[in-house]
Structure 1
């Protein structure tokens, strides 16, 4: 087994165990490392880790099929304001952002407990939508979630890594390989000293210090698109 196969195998095993994985996308893309969790296994203490150790935006990515069942639009298509007319992204053709939501049983929605509840309920709903897509409609989704909220939803590309190679698709492809619901949490790791993204070297050091798996996006692409 070569290094690429080994790193992907360890990442899949970690996901199967409900553990986070650090995924670096590509130096010629965002050049960022995200801490990625299976959404079904996120507890309040995991939200603490994401906001304190990662520091980026805590989002939940769902597959394209699930997003259709939920009735989730791309956010830029719903904003009637000149600022949404052109994104001019340096790293991609469009953003994968959809609606920000809270579960209806949360209070403000921003606490670690509230966000963990929203995240795990999104995973439960995603699994239901996969099993019975005709039964899980936007109206059913709205009975459990309200928008705006504090957990940002992302829409995965229809064919995942064959269409797009962002953290959204990398995380969802990893979840699919681990036979988990198509819902993952992604959060960028930021350097609190420099104010920019955490370097791959520092991300690897964090992973080693915390007994976590680090994997390159290219390794996932090579292993999961064969």
Structure 2
């Protein structure tokens, strides 16, 4: 009972922090990727936040978009459009398929990789998601604003989110939906500087404590939001 209460408290604090535009740490499941991601509402990501993702997390900086947004702007799954033998077989140990879509840059960026450039791309993706769900933004609008290939990797959320798939893509988008935020979230894996492997849950919790951030287990998100 006490453990359930702690999980509920952590999730409530995570939702409050997320709604306020703050990053949270989300561990998925030990029998899945077994990773902790730093997760931001995409609309809240400034250049200093991209620097934190580079320096403190170290994984791939991605923006997850909901299925509805991805459909509105005709975003494919990347493995569906790669015409190369490497895309023929999917042997992921943790899932049926990757959620990767196109990598993009906003057209107002230069190289696209700097903290300022990636921040601009990310925040504009949040704006695009809002407009797409409002019904006044389509693939032509998206193409006028973003170019591909680029330096921000897009992920497509499953249609029914956590009921279909329970990756960080869906965990982040479910939290955004519960916090009444646009259907665009940044996810970035936390890596261990010494081993190069995924940061352990204990080390991720310690990072959260030292930086006054909320750490939440994916199981708590699923239990409450599915």
Which bracket does the TM-score occupy, shorter chain normalised? Answer: over 0.9
Alpha-carbon displacement from aligned partner over 1:22-76 (angstroms, at most 9, x marks no partner): 0000000000000000000000000000010000000000000000011100000
1:37-76 matches, cutoff 5 A: 37-76=40-79
Secondary structure at the residue paired with 2:93?
Answer: coil
1:188 aligns with 2:189: yes
Say whether 1:129 aligns with 2:132: yes
| Stretch deviating more after TM superposition (3-12 or 182-191) | 3-12
* Cross-structure match for 1:79: 82
CA distance in 2, matches of 1:70, 1:152: 15
Q: Provide runs of 4+ in structure 1 moved above 4 Å.
A: none
CA RMSD of aligned residues (A): 0.7
CA deviation digits over 1:64-96, x for unaligned, max 9?
A: 000001110000000000000012000000000
Where do 5+ consecutive residues of structure 1 fail to align? none
| Helix, strand or coil at the partner of 1:2 | helix
Give the Cα separation in 2 of the matches to 1:59 and 1:209.
25
1: CA distance, partners of 2:177 / 2:157: 12
Of 99, 104, 117, the residue aligned with 1:114 is: 117
- Distance of 2:134 and 2:13 partners within structure 1: 28
Q: Give the 5 Å matches for 1:121-160.
A: 121-132=124-135, 135-160=136-161
Measure how far apart 1:147 and its partner are.
0.2
Separation of aligned partners in 2, 1:8 and 1:137: 34
Q: Give, in angstroms, the shift of residue 13 of structure 1.
A: 0.2
Gaps of 5+ in 2: none
The corresponding residue for 2:11 is 8
Secondary structure of 1:5's match?
Answer: helix
Q: CA deviation at 1:153?
A: 0.1
Write the distance in 2 (CA, Å) between the matches of 1:220 and 1:67: 23
Aligned to 2:170: 169
Distance 2:148 2:206 in 1: 37
Matched, 1:95 2:91: no
TM-score, length-normalised on structure 2?
0.98
TM-score normalised to structure 1 length: 0.98
Partner Cα distance (1:87, 1:48) in 2: 32
